[in-house]
Structure 1
Amino acid sequence: MNRFLLYLILINMLTNMVSITPRILITGMEKGAIPSMVIAIVVGIALSYFIIILFSYFPGQGLPEILNTYTPKWIAKPVLLFLSLTWFFAGLITLSIYVYIILHFLTPTMSYLTIVLAFVLVVTYGVFMTAKNILYMSEIIFVLFVPLIAFVQLKGYLSPNLHWDYVRIAVMQVNHLPHLESFSASLFIVAGTASLAIFNRFFKKIKKPTGKGIALLTILTTYILATTFFLPIGFGGFESLENVLYPWVMTSDSIRMKYGIIERIVFIFIGAFLALSVVTLIMHWHLSIQLLLGAVYFKKFKWKKRNLTLPLFIVIYWAASIYSLRKITSPGLFDFVKIFDTYVFPVVLLATIGSLLLAKKGAASKWQANKKG
């Protein structure tokens, strides 16, 4: 499996560890969260494989080029607009979560607007980058910070404060029927492959996943999903996690480096995930804006021969984001994430796969027509 494709998948997975996903899974523990996660791993790996296979038929092309070339406009434009809107909301969720974490756990005295403007500068610069440069940037961030995250997780598993009895009790909840919310929340493992909608432009000759690649992805997916769910339970138990919005922040604060320069690991942990969140936000909004440009592009909207469609969309995105961040509350964010994961993201996957199947059929018909001609 191509290493950049693996970075896309793993960065999206890891970013969700500190998001609201662990809380959704933990609150659904007695409603079938564990069977839901097992099914999500099987379905997620199968969908990832299928999506990669479909994009391999269109090497070096993003979804806008694929749909605009091989499907009718009345299909291409609505699909691109819908996917653009959903990826915008995916980025907005990431932004909201990490602004909240910074305000409450790192810099409680800092102005809300200062934090948002810092994200504005970094993410706007990233959105203007090409897919190739974003993937190279993701590789640098991955190599620098994922070892730190792995180290924190290892410290967690070896910590004497980890209560394995809580983990065993959680495992005993396997006898429940699967739960839709837990299943949908666990499907974040597919988000990385779905982002090939734009990043497939980088892959001029994408290879079909081998058996070893799928096995590696399955092992990593299982580990990340299990760690996301079980480690906070092992440290916090059940009652203390009932009202915790970000269980992994509390978990990392329970881990200490007795002889380290920084004793409280939570600062290292949040810092590493903050770097991953910036990359994820750049990816999501780069996806969203590129999909939007594939559906709506103002050719005559220029200033000094420079088209201003992209800057216009970025201004609209930030205006909408700042307004939303001022209005949304923590309970509201939790409910919004649940709705997005349960109902919206599965439709994103279906729309992506369905449109690719239509494009594949259209490409085959076009090839046959040209052959006859």
Structure 2
Amino acid sequence: MYRYTYYHVLYVGMINIMMFVPYLLIRDRFDGAVSGMVIASVIGGILSLGTMSCFERFPGWGFPELCDRYFPRWLTVAINLYAGLLIWLPAGIIVINGYSETVRLFFYPDMNPSVNLFLMTCAAVWASSRSTRTVQFIHEIMLFLCTPMLIMFLIKAIFNKNMDWDAVRYVAGYIRKPPSFMSIAASTFVFSGFTTLITVNRLHTEGFTFKHRWIVPLFGIFFLAVTFFIPIGFHGTVTVQEYVYLWSMTADSMVTEYGFINRVLFVFLILFTGLSLLFVMNTWNTTIMLIRHSLSRFTAVEETPVARINLWIALAAGLLSFVYMHLSNPERNQLISEIWLVGRFITEVMFLGIMLYFVWRRKKVKATS
């Protein structure tokens, strides 16, 4: 079952390509983005490997159960609601709004934005309201369908004849520029797949270990480099900042000769539609599990049939997505995304600190018993 953690690391790295991180890094490409990526790779590796190592010591336990074991109930509820309502829920809302608008503009710009958001929200509400085990099964199937072709397109981009490696080397030369906190916080998002252990660790059985865990930071470094350097190689060091939908235009710069596929853009967007729905499904499902544990100490990974409260919470998340769409604009969405990235980064650091405390408490109890 430990493979599901690697799936989360993989798809979070890929979804990062089409979301808010590329814009922030490109914006700071001459002002510390490169050094920020290097520092973020170290921090992200420590956070991911450290957290995975901590969870190995508690097979079958989710983060809420561990909080119940070592914290008073009121603190457990506060932590669960904070993580669910301020970290996981907004992540899904931001992504589903941003990507539904991207897809609408490139596929059918005359469609009402609410219609496209409604279609994507319906899929996300149904999927996220399933049990934890079912969500992981859906995740695995979708990842196997989407990943091979996406990796192929990324490799094709790296070896594309239009890739200007002089531009890449020029920007990489700014590695001595000190990074901003925003660059570091944004870059660490690529490594954030490990945070799903909050609930997914319930699927692990006694004696499990994360094999080949060294691949986790390698995934993050690869997708971080691809996210930043490929658009610069295609569009140049200056022009790259002129694009609003950066990676959509980068994909549209490539063509293939594989049968009916000519323009990479359309296949690229279809594949990322699947990945964005995966992201929303997982974030909202985690929100549901955290809220349910706050209400009734719910810990089951499988339910047949699924409890109605799952659907009600998922529907509430869907309605909040429409509220967000009507209240936000591109500028507000960018500001909110930056605030969320900083909050997520700080939360992940606190998350590792809490897990280390749990490990220390466990050792202390064993030593005295």
One fold, TM greater than 0.5? yes
Corresponding residue number in structure 1 for 2:101: 100
Corresponding residue number in structure 2 for 1:11: 11
What are the equivalent positions in structure 2 for 1:125-140 lying under 5 Å apart? 125-140=126-141
Cα offset, 1:43, TM superposition:
1.2
Q: Distance in 2 between matches of 1:23 and 1:179?
A: 14
Q: Distance in 1 between matches of 2:281 and 2:203?
A: 16
Any idea what the Cα deviations from partners look like across 1:176-195, whole Å, max 9, x if unmatched? Answer: 11221111111113321111
Any idea what the Cα deviations from partners look like across 1:260-316, whole Å, max 9, x if unmatched? Answer: 4132100111111111111111001111111111113599xxxxxx96533332232
Cα offset, 1:50, TM superposition:
0.8
Corresponding residue number in structure 2 for 1:88: 89
Secondary structure at the counterpart of residue 213 of structure 1 = coil
Letter of the structure 2 residue corresponding to residue 134 of structure 1: V
What are the equivalent positions in structure 2 for 1:112-127 lying under 5 Å apart? 112-127=113-128
Q: Distance in 2 between matches of 1:189 and 1:94?
A: 14
What are the equivalent positions in structure 2 for 1:39-118 lying under 5 Å apart? 39-85=39-85, 86-118=87-119
Q: Distance in 1 between matches of 2:14 and 2:5?
A: 14
Q: Distance in 1 between matches of 2:259 and 2:93?
A: 35
Letter of the structure 2 residue corresponding to residue 349 of structure 1: E
Corresponding residue number in structure 2 for 1:285: 284
Q: Distance in 2 between matches of 1:31 and 1:38?
A: 14
Corresponding residue number in structure 2 for 1:224: 223
What are the equivalent positions in structure 2 for 1:1-373 lying under 5 Å apart? 2-85=2-85, 86-205=87-206, 207-209=208-210, 212-214=212-214, 216-258=215-257, 260-297=259-296, 308-342=308-342, 344-363=343-362, 371=369
Secondary structure at the counterpart of residue 200 of structure 1 = helix
Cα offset, 1:213, TM superposition:
3.0
Count of aligned positions? 361
Contact 1:56 1:205 in 2 (8 A): no
Any idea what the Cα deviations from partners look like across 1:216-269, whole Å, max 9, x if unmatched? Answer: 233322221111100001111133222323311110000012464132100111
Cα offset, 1:203, TM superposition:
1.6
Contact 2:56 2:209 in 1 (8 A): yes
Contact 2:5 2:196 in 1 (8 A): no
Secondary structure at the counterpart of residue 204 of structure 2 = coil
Q: Distance in 2 between matches of 1:359 and 1:213?
A: 21
Letter of the structure 1 residue corresponding to residue 148 of structure 2: P
Q: Distance in 2 between matches of 1:354 and 1:193?
A: 15
Contact 1:49 1:209 in 2 (8 A): no
Contact 1:8 1:192 in 2 (8 A): yes
Secondary structure at the counterpart of residue 31 of structure 1 = coil
Distance 1:331 1:113, change over 3 A: same
Q: Distance in 1 between matches of 2:341 and 2:153?
A: 27
Secondary structure at the counterpart of residue 160 of structure 1 = coil
More deviation, 237-246/184-193: 237-246
Contact 1:252 1:265 in 2 (8 A): yes
Q: Distance in 1 between matches of 2:308 and 2:213?
A: 42
Any idea what the Cα deviations from partners look like across 1:30-89, whole Å, max 9, x if unmatched? Answer: 111111111111111111111111112221121122212331113211111110011101
Contact 1:84 1:291 in 2 (8 A): yes
Contact 2:47 2:349 in 1 (8 A): no
Q: Distance in 1 between matches of 2:260 and 2:277?
A: 26
Distance 1:213 1:297, change over 3 A: closer
Structure 1 vs Structure 2: percent identity of aligned residues? 25
Contact 2:2 2:204 in 1 (8 A): no
Distance 1:76 1:255, change over 3 A: same
Letter of the structure 2 residue corresponding to residue 351 of structure 1: M
Contact 1:32 1:174 in 2 (8 A): yes
Cα offset, 1:92, TM superposition:
1.1
Secondary structure at the counterpart of residue 324 of structure 2 = helix
Corresponding residue number in structure 1 for 2:303: none
Distance 1:206 1:330, change over 3 A: farther
Distance 1:71 1:309, change over 3 A: same
Contact 1:2 1:207 in 2 (8 A): yes
Letter of the structure 2 residue corresponding to residue 72 of structure 1: P
Distance 1:208 1:179, change over 3 A: farther
Q: Distance in 2 between matches of 1:295 and 1:217?
A: 31
Distance 1:259 1:289, change over 3 A: closer
